[in-house]
């Protein structure tokens, strides 16, 4: 079941970012997926699926945004290797 979230956004923000409402929604969705992954609240596979891209492509953009795949903990290793 999909849910829709509505966010109020003043036109000045859209103008300042040179985005229309759809572009801004896509931007926020991508940023949310990356940050939730960085916080350990979404797996890379779930984030990639949400964004409609391959896991490797998502990991590429997440790493570029400063994400760390493994923090050398056994929990991180088990979580990520379970997806392979």
| Inter-residue contact 83 to 55 (CB < 8 Å) | yes
Per-residue pLDDT reduced to its tens digit, 5-28:
999 999 999 999 999 999 999 999
What is the spatial distance between Cα 65 and Cα 60, in angstroms, rounded to a whole number?
Answer: 9
In a domain, 18, yes or no: yes
In a domain, 6, yes or no: no
- Domain hosting 16: range is 11-81
More confident residue, 69 or 63: 63
Report the domain count for the chain.
1
H/E run at residue 5: none
- CA torsion sign for 56, 52, 20, 62 is negative
pTM over 0.85: no
Mean pLDDT for the stretch of residues 35-51: 94
What is the spatial distance between Cα 42 and Cα 38, in angstroms, rounded to a whole number?
Answer: 8
């Amino acid at each position: 079941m999909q849910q829709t979230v509505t966010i109020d956004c003043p036109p000045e923000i859209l103008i300042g970012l040179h985005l229309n409402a759809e572009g801004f929604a896509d931007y926020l969705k991508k940023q949310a997926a990356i940050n939730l992954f960085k916080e350990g609240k979404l797996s890379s596979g779930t984030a990639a699926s949400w964004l409609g891209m391959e896991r490797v492509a998502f990991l590429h953009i997440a790493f570029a945004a400063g994400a760390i795949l493994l923090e050398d903990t056994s929990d991180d290793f088990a979580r990520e290797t379970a997806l392979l």
